[in-house]
A = this chain, B = another copy of it.
Amino acid sequence: MHVRRPATLASLAAELGVSRTTVSNAYNRPDQLSPELRRRVLETARRLGYPGPDPVARSLRTRKAGAVGLLLTENLSYAFRDPAAIGFLEGLALACEDANQGLLLVPANPEKEDVASVHRAGVDGFVVYSVPDDDPHLAAVLERPVPTVVCDQPELASVDRVGIDDEAAITQVANHLIELGHRRIGVVCMRLARDRNDGFVPPDRQRAAHFHVQRSRLAGLAAAFASAGVDWAQVPVVERFDHNTSCGASAAAQILDRDPGITALICTSDILALGALNEARRRGLRVPQDLTITGFDGIHEAERAGLTTVRQPVLEKGRAAGKLLLDAHERTRPRTVTLGTELILGSTAGPPRGAEERWFGP
């Protein structure tokens, strides 16, 4: 007794006594054969348990995978825990849907240097979202001969780009606080590089940050506050490797412990800011009377909390990335899409402690 190999297009053709081309046409170009023959082909296929043309073989031949790869440097599951990432994913999914393309989430564990997953991904293009600029996975993507769009990345030769003007956006926050009178501030930022450094960040690490977004925001803050006469080197900047509210809280605590005199805490994400709010509450600090706190992103939870922040169009970012990738792509120079941002004046920013007395006092 022989092992019954699964039916293929060829075996089906043999069974029917027609050519493979004809069977292929039965599935892909019904107009190329008579309805009667097509019916017979399909019926025999059913009888033999032939499931239709193999998608991989078809991809090989047509050179189309019908899917877009998404590379995130975070653990895959992280993408579903961060509201900003979710918004981005939704936008990207929308674009893929429109183009009837699949969306392949490529596992890229930041702790392993193993880029095999990138090499194995059968996709027609890549979107790279917020990875450090020295990430080996990013390098692996760039080696693949498929179009690529990077998000929140520095300019890169021959690759399309989507992002916002992080420096300008955070400058709005800075100027707002400067106008309110803040001069003694602290900063809580996200991971700056692939190595874990949960603590204060010396200026050289700030400048050498491998996450373009964080680097730009810190640079924007430094420039703005320097213009206002603040010695940036004295400003406490605390970094957190993980991204959740507990980290925001502990980072805020770290700054407040060392420098209780600060009047404002600028966080480079809403999640961190929400954590900082928790810590302020825990310490009995009133916001904004005792402490001003600001965020970045404009996620839903921030709105509910009345956070002063910058809203960036995360969904639009994802959609733009998808469109850029899927648009009939004349190999011209790389395109860049820069989306707008908006300063949201919430209720967590006010004049610094003592300012009222000075302004309205006797």
Contact = CB atoms under 8 A, between A and B. Distances in A.
Contacts of A144: 51
Contacts of A75: 94, 97
A55 B145 CA distance: 11
A147 interface: no
A102 B93 contact: no
A60 B143 CA distance: 22
A105 B90 CA distance: 12
B103 A102 contact: no
A56 B53 contact: no
Interface in A85-134: 86-87, 89-91, 93-94, 96-97, 100-107, 109, 116-117, 119-122
Contact of A58 (B51, B54, B94, B120): B120
Contacts of A57: 60
A76 B56 contact: no
A97 to B, nearest CB: 5
Contacts of A59: 56, 59, 120, 122
A67 interface: yes
A77 interface: yes
B55 A120 contact: yes
A79 interface: yes
A76 B96 contact: yes
Given A80-B93, A101-B107, A107-B102, A56 B60 contact: yes
A65 interface: yes
A203 interface: no
A95 B158 CA distance: 35
Contact of A97 (B76, B86, B93, B103): B76
B119 A55 contact: yes
Contacts of A181: none
A52 interface: yes
A81 interface: yes
A77 B65 CA distance: 20
A90 B117 contact: no
A107 B117 contact: no
B102 A121 contact: yes
Given A101-B107, A107-B96, A107-B97, A119 B53 contact: yes
A143 B79 CA distance: 31
A66 interface: yes
A6 interface: yes
Contacts of A80: 86-87, 89-90, 93
Contacts of A89: 80
Q: Which 3 A-B pairs have the closest CB atoms?
A: A80-B90, A76-B93, A77-B93
Given A97-B107, A102-B107, 19 more contacts: A52-B119, A55-B120, A56-B65, A67-B121, A67-B122, A76-B94, A76-B103, A77-B91, A77-B93, A80-B89, A80-B93, A86-B86, A96-B105, A100-B107, A100-B117, A102-B106, A102-B121, A103-B105, A104-B105
7 contacts: A51-B143, A55-B121, A55-B122, A57-B60, A59-B59, A77-B91, A77-B94
Interface of A: 6, 51-60, 65-67, 69, 75-77, 79-81, 86-87, 89-91, 93-94, 96-97, 100-107, 109, 116-117, 119-122, 143-145
